[in-house]
Amino acid sequence: MQPARNELDLFKPGPGGLPPYLAGREHEQRICRAFLDQLRQGAAPPRDLILYGPRGNGKTALLSWLHEAARARDAVDVIHLTPAAVPTEEKLVRRLLSPTWWRRLLPGEVSISGVRWRAGQSPDAPSLDEILAVRTGKKPLLLLLDEAHALDAGVGHALLNASQIVGRKQPFLLALAGTPHLESRLSGMDVSFWSRSELLPISRLDAAATADALRLPLAGENVAIDDDALAQLVAANQGYPYFVQLSGEALWRRVVAGGSSAGGRITRTDVEAVRADFEEKKGRYYLQRYNELQDQGLLPAARAVAEAFEKRDRLDGAQLEAAVRRGLGEPGNGKRTAATAKTLGHLGYIWRPDAVPTWEAGIPSLMDYVRTHAPAAEQP
């Protein structure tokens, strides 16, 4: 009998939704849990948490998991923000004030440590660290900030400094997530201590985790998958979490529609049957990434880098530089070469998964797409 389920209710190829099984993040979860335990006990965590990595690797998913874990027992307040909600420091202060504080006094007025403050009267406004100190004096606080690379530099500067002042003494934990651009954005915010934060690079999944991410949710629905079918999917996904969810959804749609070839078992025939749908969706995603490169005039350089990755899985600094230079068609311009390589890194087109200056493709299969479609450099 087919399960009476909706085709959308198992895998989650949308932005940020928690996947049915958060695979391969045991290391990151262990670290987050340790920070959270400290917070629950009312202790000050030793540093901020910073999650960074290419798009679609699962930063928001991990942040959402942390959010749920923190809320599981009512011992910690959680605020989950994006930069759009806090364009200015005052907006951030307002976000940190719980609604009851506003209600106690005149409309728009708040009292911090006996000092009354009316919104808009900035000279009297309590500072971010004062607000945090008062708030965390009542209950531990976890502040999650996603897409942090897009945070206004002034707000980021104030927030990281306040976290430094308060969070090292009181139960306040700041967790930021963003693209690889976050690193240089934080450097630009003039807060040198960010580099001593708990840095968690979020890379693609390994083959075992990719297989678990597909197999376990299906098993939970009493649907098994043949080993060869699973191996085929793992190879097609290249450990990229977004593609894992896309392919899972395509398969699940087939199961729900009753098209699965062997009842409650997924075979290679099923994987073949959903391939066109999966490839089409992947193509749309590649096109978005391609447009991003095009908007920044990066296509010829991206193509040359893709050509370099055709010969090897990793590029060292010199190999990357040579490829970018070739792509720019300007042999002499070292500054432009370095700036272009940097931007490709900020976008996550290329990515350094380990603490060594060696690059891998952010999404390996995107390299094939760019190699096929992007224009080559014009020869000088």
Ligand X SMILES: Nc1ncnc2c1ncn2[C@@H]1O[C@H](COP(=O)(O)OP(=O)(O)OP(=O)(O)O)[C@@H](O)[C@H]1O
Residue closer to ligand X (CB basis): 58 or 140: 58
The distance of closest approach from Cβ of residue 243 to ligand X in the complex, given in angstroms and rounded to an integer, is 8
| DSSP three-state, residue 291 | helix
Q: How far is the CB of 265 from Mg ion (least distance, A)?
A: 34
Q: Which does 247 bind (CB under 5 to 8 A by kind): ligand X, Mg ion, none?
A: none
Selection from Mg ion, ligand X, none that 237 binds (CB < 5 to 8 A by kind) is: none
Name the residue nearer to Mg ion (CB basis): 60 or 197.
60
Cα distance between residue 227 and residue 232, in whole Å: 9
Taking CB within 5 to 8 Å according to partner kind, which of Mg ion, ligand X, none is near residue 340? none
End-to-end Cα separation, the chain, in angstroms? 66
H-state helical runs in 257-316: 268-295, 299-311
* Residue 210 binding Mg ion, by CB under 5 A: no
For the CB of residue 57, give the shortest distance to ligand X in the complex, in Å: 4
Which of Mg ion, ligand X, none does residue 213 bind (CB under 5 to 8 Å by kind)?
A: ligand X
Cβ atoms of 282 and 53 closer than 8 Å: no
In whole angstroms, what is the distance from residue 95 CA to residue 89 CA? 10
User: Cα angle at 191 between 190 and 195, to 5 degrees?
Assistant: 125
Stretch that binds Mg ion, among 3-11, 54-62, 263-271, 293-301 (CB under 5 A): 54-62
Q: How far is CA 39 from the centre of its chain?
A: 23
Degrees (nearest 5) of the Cα angle 218, 220, 226? Answer: 40
Total residues contacting Mg ion by CB under 5 A comes to 1
Instruction: State the nearest-atom distance from the C-beta of 366 to ligand X, in Å.
Output: 14
Pairing of strands 224-225, 265-266: parallel
CA 338, CA 328: separation in Å to the nearest integer?
11
If one asks whether residue 136 binds Mg ion (CB under 5 A), the answer comes out as: no
Name the residue nearer to Mg ion (CB basis): 60 or 210. 60
Determine contact, residues 41/247, Cβ cutoff 8 Å: no
In the list Mg ion, ligand X, none, the entry touching 12 (Cβ below 5 to 8 angstroms by class) is ligand X
Name the residue number minimizing CB distance to ligand X. Answer: 58
Question: 60 vs 237, which CB is nearer to Mg ion?
Answer: 60
Q: Write down the least CB distance from residue 266 to ligand X, Å.
A: 18
Q: Could you tell me if 376 and 303 are in contact, meaning their C-beta atoms sit under 8 angstroms apart?
A: yes
Q: Which whole-number Å values give the CA distances from 300 to 125, 294, 326, 331, 361, in the listed order?
A: 50, 9, 9, 14, 16
Residue number, 14 or 334, with CB nearest to Mg ion: 14
Question: Nearest distance from residue 202's CB to Mg ion, in Å?
Answer: 10
Contacting residues toward ligand X, per CB under 6 A: 12-17, 19, 22-25, 55-61, 179, 213, 241-242, 244-245
> Is residue 60 near Mg ion by the rule CB under 5 A?
yes
Binding at 56: pick from ligand X, Mg ion, none (beta carbon under 5-8 Å per type): ligand X
Residue 61 binds: one of Mg ion, ligand X, none (C-beta under 5 to 8 A by kind): ligand X
Task: Report the 10 Å Cβ neighbour count for 159.
Answer: 28
Instruction: Tell me which of ligand X, Mg ion, none is bound by residue 362, counting a contact when its beta carbon lies within the kind-specific cut-off of 5 to 8 angstroms.
Output: none
Q: State the burial class of residue 127 (Cβ atoms within 10 Å of its Cβ: 0-12, 13-18, 19+).
A: middle
Q: CA 146, CA 153: separation in Å to the nearest integer?
A: 15
| 63 vs 128 by CB, closer to Mg ion | 63
Nearest residue to the partner Mg ion, using Cβ: 60
Nearer to ligand X, 184 or 192 (CB): 184
Judged by DSSP in three states, 229 sits in: helix
CB of 270 to ligand X, least distance (A): 20
| Spatial contact of 56 and 240, defined as CB atoms under 8 Å apart | yes
202-240: string of b/e by CB count within 10 Å (b at 16+)? bbbbeeebbbbbbbebbeeeebebbeebbebbbebbbbb
Residue 167 C-beta-side C-alpha neighbours within 13 Å: 24
Is 262 or 287 the residue whose CB approaches ligand X more closely? Answer: 287
Q: Based on CB atoms, which residue is closest to ligand X, 177 or 189? A: 177
Binding site for Mg ion (CB under 5 A): 60
